[in-house]
Structure 1
Amino acid sequence: MINSDSKFPGKDRSDKGKWVGPWMPRWRDPGDKGPFTTLRQLYSDVQDAAEGLKAKRDALKQSGKYTDAGIADKLKEVARAETIPGIRTAAAEQVRKYRLEIESRRAAMKPFDHDPKDIVSEMRRQEVRAWLRTMKPDERTNAVRRASDPFIVEAAISVPAELSGLLPSTRDDLAQKLIEQRYGGELEALNELDQAVQTVERAVDGARDDVREALGMREHDFNAEFRDVEDEIDRLAEIRASKPQPKIDFDSVMSSVKALNVDEQEQLLNTIKLEQKRADDRAFRDEIARLSGKAA
């Protein structure tokens, strides 16, 4: 892996040269937790999963105990039970969560706010649009782009392009500039998060390709072999994301937790983490067994 001696390990390309991109030093959180910290760990973990399978392949070859066919079968077992789930779960849950968050926050960014009860302002906007429609197309575009009063821009883009006389591309460009002016640093931070998410998404794709190469499989055969595993991981992730959370009496829980000493609190936390992992593992194994026709 490149950058193995730095804080930002990872491969910027898959084994076959597919671009992944390096983890950028500026992608970091103010503290020890946050989206960049989580994504950086995923970036490393998904690539390590593929590297682990290749190390397993090399170890099997060096043992001299297996034929090529035997090695292939062993690697497929590991890929199905460990490697593919490790890579796919990252994409299905964490990366998907941040992707949806980015899209949601962008959708909430508006170039301006209108008060539907402010009739006077709406009449003024109509007057501006009527004035713009008296101009030739080029004059109209220049008038809006060079307007010293942002109200003129707002009036022009607050309606469909057909009503203002602007080209749709011009309207979209002006709206985006207003959003950039209005949200500034927030939008810049969101764009950085988006770039980090895209890098992890490419890392997932690259790791998947590396696994396929390690197994010596063509893409069509690889998809046919492991599609059921990937689809099931996606399905379970969708269920977990949409499942309503039960109401918890946090005051009562916290009272009980505070009554524990420090060692007991740490033991409780570790037990909760272990039980959650066991539950996820059981659900996954049961479903894979069902898909494989091995369920009781």
Structure 2
Amino acid sequence: MINKDSKFPGKHHSDKGKWIGPWMPQWRDSGDSGPFTTLEKLYGEIQSAPERIRAKRAELEKTGKYTAAGIKDMLKQTALSETVPDIRRAAAQQVSKFRREIDKRRAAFKPFDHDPNDLVGEMRRQEVRAWLRTMTPDERTEAVRRASDPFIVEAAISVPVELTGLLPSTRDHLSQLLVEQRYGDEIAGLNELDEAVKTVERAVDGARDDVREIIGMLRHDFDAEFKPIEQQIDQQVELDAKRASFTPPPVDLNAIAETIKSLKFNERNLLLDMALDLQTTAAKAA
């Protein structure tokens, strides 16, 4: 249950002691909506979900009409049809959405911008690389690491390591440093979003464990019945995301026209007849 009065709302652990983590105060959007707002709402809903199963158990026990086995079976059916699928579906949709966004933005980070038309800049880079090759390997590494001008680093990492004599590990480290210098604030923001997503994922695991405990099922038995449903939901969410992001290739009408014109007269007539037949069939179906 979310503790609204706490500086760090949310259960830190599941009922079985599984670490979830609080919702940190820095995880806030500048306005009334955004990724953190969406994830915080989901975080609260996930942690509250087991309470509905617990309340249902108390209600059934209070009637005195059902055996322990009967209560367990009814709770299990509710969890199978509602509680766990609802938790899994909402979390899978949002987590996969923000995971894709984080990966997309991180992949766009570049240590520097390269303009192929900047001949003067490329000549300067060649001069820097020639200068670096006059040094011993240790001197070269030290010179690039301690360079006061980022242009020296750009010159060293903009070509394969064979052209500068730097170690691959050194080149990768320098590239990362340039990326951090250019995108420091954005990287920090993405790291915070990443941590928020991980906290939601842990909340799902914790809520799942709480539901299992409230029903009174062993982990092995619970996994055997619930995992296939969860996996099916995950697969469907992934498939829906791929469909939503798919962009069909543009139709090249000029190429189609040229292809048609290249056909023989009888072949063109046959193609026209087929198109008319398809149009007639579609009209009847509508």
Conservation of the 8 A alpha-carbon contact between 2:2 and 2:44: no
Which residue pairs with 1:229 in the alignment? 229
Give the match for residue 45 of structure 1. Answer: 45
* Distance apart, 1:244 and its partner CA: 4.7
Aligned-pair CA distance for 1:44: 0.5
With over 3 angstroms needed to count, the CA separation of the structure-2 counterparts of 1:141 and 1:186, relative to structure 1, is same
Shift, 1:155, TM fit? 1.7
Segment of structure 1 superposing worse, 228-237 or 193-202: 228-237
| Cα RMSD (Å) | 2.3
What does 1:92-241 correspond to in 2, within 5 Å? 92-241=92-241
Gaps of 5+ in 2: 246-286
Which deviates more from structure 2 when the two are superposed, residues 192-201 or residues 37-46? Answer: 192-201
Deviation at 1:27, TM superposition (A): 1.2
The Cα of 1:93 is off from its aligned counterpart by 0.4
Q: What is the alpha-carbon distance in structure 2 between the residues aligned to residue 157 and residue 218 of structure 1?
A: 55
Cα separation, partners in 2 of 1:151 and 1:98, compared to 1, 3 Å: same
Q: What letter is aligned with 2:135?
A: M
**1:33 corresponds to 2:9:** no
Instruction: Give the C-alpha shift of residue 37 in structure 1.
Output: 0.7
Q: Does the CA contact (< 8 Å) of 2:2 and 2:47 recur in 1?
A: no
Q: How many Å separate the matches in 1 of 2:79 and 2:160?
A: 52
- 1:242 partnered with 2:242: yes
Q: Distance in 1 between matches of 2:169 and 2:63?
A: 63
Give the Cα–Cα distance (whole angstroms) in 1 for the partners of residues 18 and 167 of structure 2: 38
Q: Which range is displaced more, 109-118 or 56-65?
A: 56-65
Amino acid of the structure 2 residue aligned with 1:51: E
1:257 corresponds to: none
Gap regions ≥5 residues in structure 1: 246-296
Rounded to whole Å, the distance in 2 between the matches of 1:15 and 1:133 is 62
% identical equivalent positions:
69
Q: Please tell me the residue identity of whatever aligns with 2:21.
A: G
Q: 2 CA distance for matches of 1:112 and 1:119?
A: 16
Contact 2:111–2:182 (CA under 8 A) maintained in structure 1: yes
| CA distances 1:179-207 after superposition (whole Å, capped 9, x unpaired) | 12212322222222222112112111221
In the alignment, what sits opposite 1:85? 85
The CA distance in 2 between the partners of 1:164 and 1:208, in whole Å, is: 54
Counterpart CA distance in 2 for 1:154 and 1:42 is 43
Distance verdict in 2 for CA 1:210–1:135, change over 3 Å: farther
Per-residue deviation, 1:117: 3.1
TM-score (norm 1): 0.74
Give the CA deviation at 1:163: 4.3
Rounded Cα–Cα distance in structure 2 between residues aligned with 1:217 and 1:71: 12
Residue type of the partner of 1:154?
A: E
Encode CA deviations 1:143-175: one digit per residue, 9 max, x unaligned: 111101111111222234454333333322222
Q: Which residue of 2 aligns with 1:269?
A: none
How do residues 251-290 of structure 1 correspond to structure 2 at under 5 angstroms? none
Q: 1:49–1:86: 8 Å Cα contact kept in structure 2?
A: no
Shift of the alpha carbon at 1:177?
1.8
> Structure 2: which amino acid aligns with 1:52?
R
In structure 2, relative to structure 1, the CA distance for the partners of 1:18 and 1:132 (3 Å cut) is: farther
Q: How does 1:53-92 map to 2 (within 5 A)?
A: 53-92=53-92
Q: Distance in 1 between matches of 2:18 and 2:181?
A: 36
Partner SS for 2:3: coil
Change (3 A) 1:223 1:160: farther
CA contact (8 A) 1:212 1:218 kept: yes
SS of 1:18's partner is: coil
Q: Which amino acid aligns with 1:44?
A: G
CA offset at residue 105 of structure 1?
A: 0.5
Alignment-mate amino acid for residue 136 of structure 1: T
